[in-house]
Each structure stands twice: as C-alpha cells, then as structure tokens.
Amino acid sequence: MTNKLNLNNLTKSEEDYLKALFQLLIEDNSTKVGNNQLADYLKVSPASTNNMIKKLKAKKYVVSEKYGKLELTEDGQSIAVRLIRKHRLWETFLYNYLNFSWDEVHEVAEQLEHIKSQKLINELDRFMECPTTDPHGEIIPNANGEYSIVPKITLSSLKEGDVCQLISVNDGSVQFLKYVSEIGLALSSEIKIMEIRDFDKSIKIKFNEAEETVTRKFADNVFVKIIPEL
Amino acid sequence: MTNKLNLNNLTKSEEDYLKALFQLLIEDNSTKVGNNQLADYLKVSPASTNNMIKKLKAKKYVVSEKYGKLELTEDGQSIAVRLIRKHRLWETFLYNYLNFSWDEVHEVAEQLEHIKSQKLINELDRFMECPTTDPHGEIIPNANGEYSIVPKITLSSLKEGDVCQLISVNDGSVQFLKYVSEIGLALSSEIKIMEIRDFDKSIKIKFNEAEETVTRKFADNVFVKIIPEL
DNA sequence: TAAAAAAGTTAGCTATGACTAACAAATTAA
DNA sequence: TTAATTTGTTAGTCATAGCTAACTTTTTTA
C-alpha cells in the first residue's frame, strides 16, 4: 500500500509550498534550499514561509532542523509530483485544444492544478492520449507519479562553440516567454554558442541562420541538451 | 459601457453566495428570500450569511433593508449568470468528453466554475460548439449572459391525467440523480401522472410503458414541460 | 576572530470566512 | 392581542494565511 496519501486534505497554499519546494529541490537540483529562498520563490515574506513550513513539518511532508535546510519527505514529493502532472496536463490541454498561446497557459494552469478530482485528471490524460511533454517542453509525470527528471542544463552553462537543442523553457514569466517567441526560438531549435562576453556574460547565439545576443539572465531560463560534435 | 464589472475581484465565497441568491431568487422565482433560507441553502450558519450579505451590500451586488428580503442588483445578477454559464459549460465538457456520469459532474463543476479566465470559458464554449443545455437539461447562458429563464414546473405541481416531458432535474444531490437514472428516467422522457395519493402526496407515474410510484420530495426535484392533450 | 551581513525565527497584527451563543424583531397562533 | 415561534442580527471566537518589526543564529568577510 504505497498510496494511503489523502490528497484532498491540503489547502491551496499548502500545495503551492510543496510544489515550490519540489521545483527548487529536485528539478533545480539545489544543494541547499532555505527558508528565505523559498519565500523569494513564492513571493511571500520569510515569516509566512516559516509559518507554513512548521505546518508542513507537523503533517510530515517536510523535514528540517532548526536553522537547517528544507527537505521533502516521500509523501511531500508525491504530492508535488501530482501537482506538476496536473499543471502540465492542463497546460497541454489549453495549448492543444483551446487556442492558448505559449505564454498564456501557465497562469490558468496555476489555478486548474488545484482542482481536486482524480477522475478529472486521469480522463483529461486519456482524452489527450497521454501526452508526455507540455507546451514548454517539460516532461509530464505519469499517473503513478513516475517521471524521469532530466538534469536541467541551462544555456548559460555552455561554452563557446557548443551546439545544443532547445528542450524546455522556464514558464514563470510571461515577458520571458513572449521574448523567446519573438526572436524566433522554438522547442527543438538548434542553437550554437558563438561568443560569451566576459564583462557581462552575455551570449551571442546562432539559430536558424540568425544571430542574437542574449543576456545571462535569459540564458538561465533556457534549458538545453548538448549535441555532441561529430 | 455595460461591462465595467471586474469579475476577478471576488472571492470564491462571494461568488458562491451570489450564485445561490440567483438560484433562489430568479430560477426558483421566490417571492421572498431571507437570510436563514440562504444559510440553509448554502449549509452555513445564519450568522455567516448575515456577515457575507453585509459585504455584498457594501460592494453593491445585493440590496436589502434591515430585516427585509434579499435582492440582487444588476451587477450581482450578472456575476451569478456568468458563474452559472461556467458551471454548466464545465458539466457539459465533463459529461461529453471526459466520461463523467450524470451524477458526477456537479461536484467537480462546483470547483471549476471558480477558475478565473475569460478566455478559458469562451474557448471551451467554442471547442464544444456552443452547447445550449447541460447534461441535466438546464439552459446554458450565452457569452453575453443572456438566457431564457424557463419558468420551472415541477412534476409535483401537475394533476392526475397530465402528460409531460422531462426537461431538467435538480443537480444538487448525487443520491437523487442516481435514483433518477436507476428507475429509467432520462431527459425528454414522456411521463403521465396516473394517480396522486392524498395522504402522502406520492405520485404514480407511467413512462416507457413502466409504472413507478415516487414521493413528493422526488417530484419537487423533477422539472417538466406539460404536453397539451390533443 | 570579531564585526558585518545574511538567514532564520518569533511575536503580534490583519483580513477572510467560518462558528456559537445571546439577543431583537417580525410573524404566526392561541 | 399577547405569547410562542421563526427569522434576523450582533458580539465574540477560531483557523488560515498573509504581513511587519524585532530578535537570534549562522555564515561571511575584513
């Protein structure tokens, strides 16, 4: 009996905190996630975070020592993965069936992911014929909460001369997504690092025969797969 | 400028109260809706209702004198109709595309109707090719909030010998909906009133060549259209 | 290694929206 | 028409979840 977990006893806020922790801890693969970092990520005060972490520790979804780093229990992770599954399935639905654009899906999916109905999400999955990635290129966990966490390589971590393929983009900001579309980048685009300028770490990239210079901040939000040179 | 109304400033609770008021006032066409009646309908205490009514009066969605009957302003009605539109469109989606049954759709639609996105609901409408009635037979208001409020005639208001057609059913209770399905009634079923028993107001009805005796309470939740006799 | 900065914690406040208990007004019935 | 019942209101409490301000612990750096 792995699944005695009751997913219906969580408030929207509790869910938001668990999902945020998962994204910082597991998806971003951080060594240490602290209280203030989480507060920053969720755009709330450190006091609020501290408060919520206490509650989540009492419910055994989070473990941490006083003044120590935050960690998710298995149950905590399980809840977070289910939320991510819901979020990404809804994004896919909005994008593929309801004419939403790349940058519009996130905000609405943030609301839809909190709808409590196991049947709803499983049927939505079936209706869409079990998609494996969302519109931003992120992998959708399956109904058992299993999914391969591909270590994320950012465009900013590459060196001059590297060639890579765009895998996914951070969907946290509408402005960013609009910019990505505008310069003509799309999922699977092949990108070559032409030059990295030392003084501001801005990067000159080449794709589809076009060249663009992007900032370090931009490159931090673009996830890629390196294409080994022949 | 009819629509200066900001639909995004309302809490889930405020929306629930406005919708409940609309259903009691307009759809059930009551002469007087009072505080306790509303509390009853929403299954909260009269104190809670009183409190919320104060807030909705301050926001100009509700008008009432002290100790007087509750009424919705035009803005209040407008918000309620939009919620009903959302509720019924989601019910239709769940029923037609996601294999939900008659009695399963209501609970999930109660959650989905609070999702804030104009685009979402308009695209969902387009995707389903603008359905006009939901799975329970209720009319879906259009994007402008217009819809014909058909005066509801309950099965219980008919007299012996009358013949009618099932138009819609009250979707408030899962048990009721299951019972309706089990005895074989469906939307559009033709029903004849065979006998009304005086002592308990139970009604013997005939449909699809079958006969059933139903209680007054049952008949109160079934809405019909009288078929004029030839 | 001591001072400064950053990170984490606590206390106490706010708003929302439930609740109960007590009370007041209005309606119904004797 | 007075008494009983129903209906409506108010006061005060609770939980959730946010906040600021003050404080403590840890980490950094000078």
**pLDDT tens across A154-169, in order?**
998 899 999 999 988 9
DSSP annotation of B151 reads P
Residue of A nearest to B121 (CA): A98
Q: Looking at beta carbons, which residues of chain B come within 8 Å of A111? A: 115-117
Cα distances (angstroms) measured from residue B230 to each of A107, B155, B163, B227: 57, 20, 11, 9
CA distance A80 to chain B (A): 20
Q: Which of B37, B60, B61, B59 is nearest to B50 (CA)?
A: B37
Within an 8 Å CB–CB cutoff, is residue B116 touching chain A? Answer: yes
Q: Are B161 and B174 in contact (CB under 8 A)?
A: no
pLDDT, tens digit (0-9, with 9 covering 90-100), for A22-72: 999 987 778 899 999 999 999 999 999 999 999 999 999 999 999 999 999
pLDDT, chain A, mean: 92
Q: Tell me the mean pLDDT in the region A159-181.
A: 88
Strand C contacts (CB < 7 A) among A residues 30-49?
34-37, 46-47
Residue A1: what pLDDT? 47
Percent of chain A with pLDDT over 90: 68
Residue of B nearest to A105 (CA): B120
Which of helix, strand or coil describes residue B75? helix
B/e letters for B186-200, b = 16+ CB within 10 Å, e = fewer, are eeebebbbeebeeee
Residue B151: what pLDDT? 76
List, in order of start, the domains of chain A with CATH numbers: 7-148 (1.10.10.10), 153-226 (2.30.30.90)
Which of A97, A111, A124 minimises the CB distance to B98? A124
CA distance A88 to A138: 8
Residue of B nearest to A104 (CA): B119
Residue B230: what pLDDT? 64
Give the nucleotide at minimum CA-to-C1' distance from B68.
D8
Percent of chain A with pLDDT over 70: 98
Amino acid at residue number A230: L
DSSP annotation of B133 reads B
Sites in chain B below the pLDDT cut of 70: 1-4, 230
- Taking the CA of residue B36 and the C1' sugar atom of nucleotide D6, their distance in angstroms comes to 10
Q: Are A116 and A7 in contact (CB under 8 A)?
A: yes
Mutation site for B-interface testing, chosen from A117, A124, A128 by largest number of B Cβ within 10 Å: A117
DSSP annotation of B150 reads P
How far is residue B51 CA from its own chain's centroid? 24
Give the nucleotide at minimum CA-to-C1' distance from B54.
D9
Q: Which of A104-113, A142-151, B35-44 has the lowest mean pLDDT?
A: A142-151
Name the residue with higher pLDDT: A27 or A134.
A134
Q: Inter-axis angle of helices B105-112 and B174-182, to 10 degrees?
A: 140
CA distance A207 to B98: 41
Q: Are A111 and B116 in contact (CB under 8 A)?
A: yes
CA distance A138 to A85: 10
Residues in Cβ contact with B128 at an 8 Å cutoff, skipping those fewer than 6 apart: B89, B92, B93, B96, B97
With a 7 Å cutoff on the CB, does A137 touch strand C?
A: no
Name the residue with higher pLDDT: A189 or B91.
B91
